[in-house]
Amino acid sequence: MADLVVSAKEGLLCVPGDFYIDPWLPVERAVITHAHADHARAGHAHYLTAAPGAAVLKSRLGEISLEALPYGKKIVHNGVTISLHPAGHVLGSAQVRLEWHGEVWVVSGDYKLDPDGTCAPFEPVVCDAFITESTFGLPIYRWEAQQKIFDDIRHWWRRNAEEGRASVLFCYAFGKAQRLLNGIDSVVGPIICHGAVSELNRIYRESGVWLPPTLSVSDVSNKGDFSKALIIAPPAAAGSPWLRRFADYSDGFASGWMLLRGARRRRAVDRGFVLSDHADWPGLMRAIKATGATRVIVTHGHVDIMVRWLREIGLDASGFSTEYGTDEDDNVAMNEAVAFKESHA
Amino acid sequence: MRKFACLYNELDATTATTRKLDALEKYFSANEPGNAAWAVYFLAGGKPRQIVSTKLLRQFSTEMSGLPEWLFDECYLAVGDLAETIAHILPPPEYETDIGLAVWMEERILPLRGDKPEKIRAALFDYWRGLDSQSRFLLIKLISGGFRVGVSKLLVIRALGELSGTDHKVIAQRMMGWTDGAVLPSAESYQKLIAPASEHNAVEGGQPYPFFLSHPLQTDPHTLGDIRSWHAEWKYDGIRAQLVQRGGRRYLWSRGEDLITDRFPEISGISLPDGTVIDGEILVWKNGAPGSFADLQRRIGRKMLSSGILDEFPAVLIAFDLLELGGRDIRGFVQLERRASLEEIVQGTGNSALMLSPLIDAPDWQMLEVLRSSSRARGVEGLMLKSINAQYGVGRTKEGGVWWKWKLDPYTVDAVLVYAQRGHGRRASLYTDYTFAVWSDAPSRERKLVPFAKAYSGLTDREIAQVDAIIRKTTIEKFGPVRGVTPTMVFEIGFEGIARSSRHKSGVAVRFPRMLRMRNDKKIDEADTLDTLKAMTRNHG
């Protein structure tokens, strides 16, 4: 049987269904795994996405023709049965399950295995072929428990507050920011969010995700309060005039890339907190195994390396070249580019 | 080890001097003197000879991780640091150990040197099982002799000074030679280091003084005021060294605090009055002029000196300062006084291997600038300007007066980027190390690009990101970690010296090449030719 999904110039194409998954060029029908900018692009005629992600997608892309599908519910298009399953990456992120003539393919989008309080946890979906991301597809990437990272951040925040310094934590505005808020809570002092973060907080709250109370800078009349505050800002705010108001502050960056000393030093922040919304190496391996798939196609990240490894352990593996993040071996360079696009990690 | 790892983390995480100082003081005051002694040793730049070879470290960590070798190599390429790679790929720790740094070094690490591979393997597996990734990283750095962290020796000295209340200049003095590996750090040596200053801090043994370092002059020299309050000397391109004579013996120390007495017998043979310390520059001296640095390189690192080498590359010490006279530390005297005493000492020895660095007489700054422009023909790098009222400071201090180095502008050529390699550490995974080429001939169809220099410094992070992206897009071939690219980018390359060389394909070797700027305005056809480079070798000694 011919492949159910191929890599076309517009994006990943479901051939019999005649629709695309996370296409990077404008197409007629697009299934969107999640609303990060490199997966959800403007210009398609019709969008399909998981129901919990609809609000974010609309807020990012404006007026679009959008069908929102609850997790697990099946629809049929051109004979292909489509259903969406939680990917645990950000609010509304989904794996796309495609079934045609008894064969099942799953496109993972971006995913993370460990549950957090801000989105539905990853659900393994049994399939014949699994198309997986590989952002952190190297054995060096092995995350510590998120609780430990939240503790580290609270500890850093408390120490700064005691020394009369504001704590500025950079992270991606969509997904990571809310996961941090949900996990850290306002135990030490007030939490102030950059405008880019506040907008997404609103959507998360409206979707029923609990977040601690947050303020915007204009809510703070007494500048002295800044010194006890945790400020959540996107990486693009680094070095901007917006930060000057906080005078003396310590800064941190929360991202999976912070595992490596080189990346931490390049970022030139006081603290790097290793927290990622992607699967680490053991997570990728566990996820692949859980699908039971004998065929694995690797996209964005360390494609060549993962493919070679999966072949060595006996799977039929190959790679797709995509325009998510960037390709191949340039993980850290990608970090630089993507940080400003506010997307991965 | 865990506490030292925490200290390392804190020092590594911040760029703020005050926070580093805080962290150091906290560590030293909370730790036993034996551990503190080893910490001082490493922080001040001490490097024990490699204890376990890199090859074995790779082999054993790959075995313990259960990864195939190719995958280990891929990890190493992404991380750019062997110790860090190993720390991340090993399985999670099985138990916790809390053993102090001194016990680690003396009982667990140093005894591994020269041991049988299977014993080393068993020991490393055992150590790794009991350490978290941060401590593993540090352990491997200590074992492989690659420990480095962003503190200066001066900062360590300051922290010890603050902590003990002992004058930091006294501590700096006591610390000279601490890291040369001749004596192992111990609780006793640490306590001596921070003990209160005694009445007469007589320097014992052959220890040198901390070197006083200069600052680059970045303004118009007119702003320095009256030229008569300055001593101008040539800035030589050799090895900075102190010649110490005490107790009837002579010691020659390099700026890196290595004892190099045996390497330069001509200089160690200079007889001085007892209790004398001279600061100067070691040069190869030929036909009444400084030889090139390449000449000096023939002498550095050579333990066995044949008479042929000694004849062909004779070394001299150009004396420019006197730090001890008659057993008395005279660093607090001003330049004018020290210089007068130095002249007496040098004239008194009558040994041609000891030469006085001449003072350059110029009536005004313009005239001095004219003289400076003759530096290349004289085989020197430019000028040193020393305030006649300056004391001899410690490191880069400025309180007691300043030394300025007023170097010539570098040579420059426009060259084309042809190969790129990924960097290490902070630049891991980015293409930051480049090979540059110039054209073999004037424009013609057959001319080729000839590589002549590698450079990796001079660009901002933003520029590196741009260049990195272009390299990835224009790669035409890969050999291991090196990428060959379609030539598209022109850079202005600066360097300090140039000499003909038969070892290099281009026929020239350049010294301290670095990128001065990207020349996006230039096409590759406009890059310089080999003739331009060869012409430069003519006016260099």
Confidence of residue B377 (pLDDT cuts 50, 70, 90): confident
pLDDT level of residue B514 (50, 70, 90 thresholds): very high
Cβ–Cβ below 8 Å for A140 and B75: yes
Distances (CA, A) of B103 to B47, B111, B124, B146, B180: 17, 11, 15, 20, 20
A54 CA to chain B: closest CA distance, Å?
A: 34
Q: Show residues of chain A in contact with B424, CB under 8 Å.
A: 262
* Residue, of B322 and B1, whose pLDDT is higher: B322
Residue A281, judged by CB atoms within 10 A of its CB (0-12, 13-18, 19+), counts as buried
Tokens 């020290």 correspond to B338
Q: How far apart are CA B335 and CA B59, in angstroms?
A: 56
- What average pLDDT does this structure show over B161-173? 85
A330:B79 CB<8 A? no
Q: Considering only A135-144, A304-313, B453-462, which range has the smallest mean pLDDT?
A: B453-462
Residue A339 pLDDT exceeds 70? no
Residue B10 CA, chain-centre distance (Å), reads 24
The pLDDT tens digits for B347-370 are: 999 899 999 999 999 999 999 999
Position B259 pLDDT exceeds 70: yes
Chain B neighbours among A 297-326 (CB < 8 Å)? 302, 305, 308-309, 312
pLDDT at A328 over 60: no
pLDDT the model gives residue A264:
82
Residue A335 has pLDDT above 50, yes or no: no
pLDDT of residue B205: 66
Judge whether B433 is closer than 8 Å to chain A, CB to CB: no
Task: Dump pLDDT digits (tens) for A104-122.
Answer: 999 999 999 999 999 999 9
Q: What would the pLDDT profile of A130-185 be if each residue is shown by its tens digit? A: 999 999 999 999 999 999 999 999 999 999 999 899 999 999 999 999 999 999 98
The residue type of B374 is S
Mean pLDDT of chain A: 90
Each residue of B327-352: b (16+ CB within 10 Å) or e? eebbbebbbebbbebbeebbeebebe
**What integer best gives the mean pLDDT of chain B?**
89
* Rounded Cα gap, residues B234 and B509, in angstroms: 23
Contact A262 B80 (CB under 8 A): yes
Q: What is residue A221's predicted lDDT score, i.e. its pLDDT?
A: 81
Quick one: average pLDDT of B491-510? 86
What is the pLDDT averaged over residues A66-87? 97
**Distance from the A304 Cα atom to the nearest Cα atom in chain B, whole angstroms:** 10
The architecture in CATH of the region B215-406 reads 2-Layer Sandwich (3.30)
Q: Which of these, A116, A197, A191, A119, lies nearest to A153 by C-alpha position?
A: A191
What are the tens digits of pLDDT across the range B90-132?
A: 999 999 888 999 999 999 999 999 899 999 999 999 999 999 9
Q: Which domains does chain A have, with CATH numbers?
A: 5-141+277-341 (3.60.15.10), 146-273 (3.40.50.10710)
- Mean pLDDT over B81-92 rounds to 94
Least confident of B87-91, B199-203, B289-293: B199-203
- Asked if A140 has any chain B CB less than 8 Å from its own CB, the reply is yes
Closest approach of chain B CAs to the CA of A196, in angstroms?
24
Q: Single out the residue of A312, A321, A317 nearest to residue A293, CA to CA.
A: A317
Q: Where are the domains of chain B?
A: 2-144, 215-406, 411-538
Q: Which of B118, B116, B101 is nearest to B48 (CA)?
A: B101
pLDDT given at position B97 = 86
The stretch B243-264 carries a mean pLDDT of 87
Share of residues in chain A with pLDDT > 70 (%): 94
Confidence of residue B166 (pLDDT cuts 50, 70, 90): confident
Q: What is the pLDDT of residue B202?
A: 55
Distances (CA, A) of B44 to A195, B29, B153: 46, 17, 5
The A residues from 264 to 303 touching B (CB cutoff 8 Å) are 264-266, 268, 270-272, 302
Mark which residues 462-491 of B lie under 8 Å from A by CB. 465, 468-469, 472
Q: Dihedrals φ, ψ of B195, to 5°?
A: -65, 155
Element (H, E) at A76: strand A75-77
In contact, B85 and B76? CB cutoff 8 Å: yes
**pLDDT band, residue B206 (cuts 50/70/90):** confident
Residues 6+ apart with CB under 8 A from B480: none
Grade residue B203 by pLDDT with cuts at 50, 70 and 90. Answer: low
Domain B2-144, CATH 2.170.8.10 — does that match? no
A204 close to A211: Cβ distance less than 8 angstroms: yes
Alpha-carbon span A293 to A146, nearest angstrom: 29
Residue of A nearest to B66 (CA): A139
Nearest to A132 by CA among A339, A3, A274, A322: A322
Which of A31-40, B174-183, B376-385 ranks highest by mean pLDDT? A31-40
Distances (CA, A) of A213 to A150, A202, B390, B501: 17, 11, 60, 69
Q: What is the pLDDT confidence band of residue B541, given thresholds at 50, 70 and 90?
A: very low
User: In A21-39, which positions are buried (b, 16+ CB within 10 angstroms) versus exposed (e)?
Assistant: bbbbeebebbbbbbbbebb
CATH hierarchy code of domain B411-538: 2.40.50.140
Q: Over 80: is that where the pLDDT of B240 sits? A: yes
A107 near B CB under 8 A: no
Q: For position B14, what pLDDT does the model report? A: 75
- Per residue in B429-438, pLDDT tens? 789 999 999 9
What pLDDT is stored for residue B199 in this prediction?
Answer: 55
Contact A215, A191 (CB under 8 A): yes
pLDDT band per the 50, 70, 90 thresholds, residue B511: confident
Residue A343 predicted with pLDDT over 70:
no
Q: What is the pLDDT of residue B487?
A: 93
- Cross-chain Cβ contact A308/B14 below 8 Å: no
The answer, for A331 touching chain B at a CB cutoff of 8 Å, is yes
Task: Tell me the per-residue pLDDT of A216-249, one tens digit each, with 9 for 90 and over.
Answer: 988 888 877 888 999 999 988 888 888 888 888 8
Helix then strand then coil, % of chain A, to nearest 5: 30, 25, 45
The minimum CA-CA distance between A150 and chain B, rounded to whole Å, is 18
pLDDT at B539: 56
- Asked if A309 lies within 8 A of B71 by C-beta distance, the reply is yes
Which residue on chain B is closest to A262 by alpha carbon?
A: B426
Q: Which of residues 207-236 of A touch B (CB under 8 A)?
A: none
Residue B370: both structure tokens together: 């004219």
Work out the average pLDDT over B374-392: 92
Which of A307, A332, A335, A340 should be substituted to probe chain B, the one whose Cβ sees the most B Cβ atoms within 10 Å? A332
CA–chain centroid gap for A288, Å, is 18
Partner-chain contact A305 B71, CB within 8 Å: yes
H or E stretch including B190?
helix B187-194
From the list B85, B430, B468, which residue is nearest A140 (CB)?
B85
* Nearest CB partner across the interface for B78, out of A140, A142, A337: A140
pLDDT band at B63, cuts 50/70/90?
A: very high
Phi, psi for residue A123 in degrees, rounded to 5: -125, 115
Whether residue A262 and residue B429 make contact (CB cut-off 8 A), yes or no, is yes
Q: What is the pLDDT of residues B41-54, one digit of tens each?
A: 999 888 888 899 99
* For range B216-238, the mean pLDDT: 92
pLDDT (tens digit per residue) in A240-265: 888 888 888 899 999 999 999 888 87
